[in-house]
């Protein structure tokens, strides 16, 4: 710091000014208080653990595909494989499906397993019509898909899709339970693509 001879004022050098400013800042830092802790910090963790953001379509489709209830429609030898699928070894209840319903009003999946005859066709259609929407149909085995080995017969329907709309076909004579489970997974996949907006 020097005195200007002309004006008689004090003149500070840049270095002195910088040092003085630095000392002032350090003094403020030394005496400043700790930041007040956020009282709502716990809320962030609670929100993260308890709130799930998703779409209505996703939730609805998740609920539907996780609780498909099949209606009993075993018609021939393929039905034994369907029954085996429901037993403990293959454990269809893993998919929320252990309840094979005797009433179509409580079912949303029809597994047609076996040979469909023309004599039985009206009953199949009536049961399908009694099922509540939305509903799905799985044709299990060659007979259900196309009449199978009996396709030339006067009495056999050449495919369940002649009577009701079919969503998934599971080929085989008979298909093994693993194949039926794969077909069911395909229906799950189909359900997960649905939208309540386009369903109207």
Look at the alpha carbons of 23, 24, 27, 29 in this order and tell me if their dihedral is positive or negative. negative
Residue 117 tokens read as 């005859």
Least Å distance, CB 133 to ligand SF4, is 28
Burial of 49 (0-12, 13-18, 19+ CB in 10 A): exposed
CA atoms within 13 A on the CB side of 1: 8
Q: How far apart are the first and last CA of the chain?
A: 85
For 109-167, the DSSP string reads EEEEESPPBTTTHHHHHHHHHHSPSS-EEEEESHHHHH-GGGTT-TTB-S-GGGTS--S
Pairing of strands 136-140, 168-170: parallel
Least Å distance, CB 90 to ligand SF4, is 17
Least Å distance, CB 86 to ligand SF4, is 17
For ligand SF4, give the closer residue by CB, 78 or 187: 78
For ligand SF4, give the closer residue by CB, 141 or 159: 141
For ligand SF4, give the closer residue by CB, 128 or 169: 169
For ligand SF4, give the closer residue by CB, 20 or 173: 173
Least Å distance, CB 122 to ligand SF4, is 20
Q: What is the DSSP letter of 44?
A: H
For ligand SF4, give the closer residue by CB, 148 or 177: 148
Least Å distance, CB 80 to ligand SF4, is 8
Contact set with ligand SF4 (CB under 6 A): 76-78, 114-115, 141-143, 148-149, 173-174
């Amino acid at each position: 710091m020097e005195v200007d001879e002309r004006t008689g004022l004090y003149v500070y050098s840049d270095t002195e000014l910088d040092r003085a400013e630095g000392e002032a800042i350090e003094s403020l830092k030394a005496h400043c208080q700790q930041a007040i802790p956020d009282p709502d910090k716990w809320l962030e963790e609670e929100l993260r653990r308890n709130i799930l953001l998703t779409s209505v379509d996703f939730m609805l489709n998740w609920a539907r595909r996780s609780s498909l209830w099949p209606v009993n429609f075993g018609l021939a030898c393929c039905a034994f494989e369907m029954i085996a699928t429901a037993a403990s070894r293959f454990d269809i209840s893993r998919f929320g499906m252990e309840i094979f319903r005797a009433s179509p009003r409580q079912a949303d999946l029809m597994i047609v397993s076996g040979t469909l005859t023309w004599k039985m066709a009206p009953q199949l259609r009536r049961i399908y019509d009694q099922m509540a929407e939305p509903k799905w149909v799985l044709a299990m085995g060659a007979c259900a898909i196309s009449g199978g080995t009996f396709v030339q017969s006067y009495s056999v329907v050449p495919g369940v899709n002649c009577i009701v709309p079919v969503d998934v076909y599971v080929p085989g004579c008979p298909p093994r339970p693993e194949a039926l489970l794969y077909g069911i997974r395909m229906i799950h996949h189909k359900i997960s693509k649905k939208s309540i907006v386009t369903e109207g």
